[in-house]
Structure 1
């Protein structure tokens, strides 16, 4: 008796400033991967490897050329991903689905406007930042520019916002006697990030950013993402960081954000405007995945 072959999935491997993705086209009605399959695909030794999985789906958002969904490396669903959104935009342009230089996409957090720029980068109008604790969600008695958590790492002051997914931001004080960015590099991002995620302050967990302000228009940023761990870049984290720091009076409304994997340019024109993000999107390779459970191959 022959054993049926596992289903095959064509995929594109992409990255935005080092934040890497697998893109699946599900517009033919194919089901999305189960959480277990997504986690196997994410395995960097036995699978393809990625920070997030992106599924392209038929447009359900008015005016959008396509919708997309986001899955973390542990198989959990995500609400937004700025670097992933740029990769989706680049994929739709190369595929021919988005023929115009300006087009709209539907995301789990709502409609996103995309512009394909002449230098190959993409500019996206993300959502308007949300600071109300109940909508982040964050357990806090009232909305504030800064909150405090006391734990094994001492008293941590942090800002919080939602960009369609929850973010906390801890500012790292620059050292006058050390090169710019060195204080940020020394931070225990995994330890602090994992503790804050488990602290109970964020009922849906949280992406934890660590920022060092280098100038009013320039910051360095690291992000420990929920369901993934620290990544080379986080687009929604960069948007949230700038919005939080603007609200705290620490930076201007147009900021260069240097992440371990590259640079993003973030603009927040006014409090009621969407945050704009500009950055790269790159294709790495194409492939075919077939799932054989714990013995998966890619």
Structure 2
């Protein structure tokens, strides 16, 4: 994949996903590489389904140092890796692939994204009940982050209990007492109101019909950043809740990715400025 005109220090990285055109990851990574003086490094968006991911990653030349992976490829990313962090294995999905001498290594820095975003907003779930909306690929790292931050218990809001089985089992392995309720459960509003924090991991349009109940939570992380604000975020802000959005999560997970790709400390101020 390299060309004869590449600089000796040329390195490549990219974000894989579908759709991928809205991704702000190139802004963050390119700002970091410039700040670190890595003038030969590039970072791009690659439209890539889960089915295509093994071929894309497997066909990477030696100039490729890593991939960020968004949906729908996070489960496939873990499967193509020859090694993985414990948290990626526990979650069952990876959002980061790093080239090592032994092959591709997987991690899930979404955990850092959730904990970093909550910390930035001054939201401390320690000792409090938490709510997670959704039970898919982004819910799982949120469960790990909330458990590591000391949440007392967890309620998973999902379309049906079957879809939430994996999330429930992960929460229990992390030592959380967990319950599962549906979006149409009559207790939804009171559960959210009595929580310390709610993390919504579902698309904006999926949360919108239930926003009046979900927005009862005193503190909310909505992992969406496009479009923003979501109906949930806007309603919660009008009600006086502490609200943090997906850009903060994206930024905080990218700090770890940059450090894994480059072996250097992430230039956090330069990366944050790239989002403003």
Shorter-chain TM-score: what band?
under 0.3
Q: Whose strand fraction is larger, Structure 1's or Structure 2's?
A: 1
**TM-score normalised per structure 2:** 0.25
Q: Whose helix fraction is larger, Structure 1's or Structure 2's?
A: 2
- Could you say which structure has the greater relative contact order, defined with CA pairs below 8 angstroms and 6 or more residues apart? 1
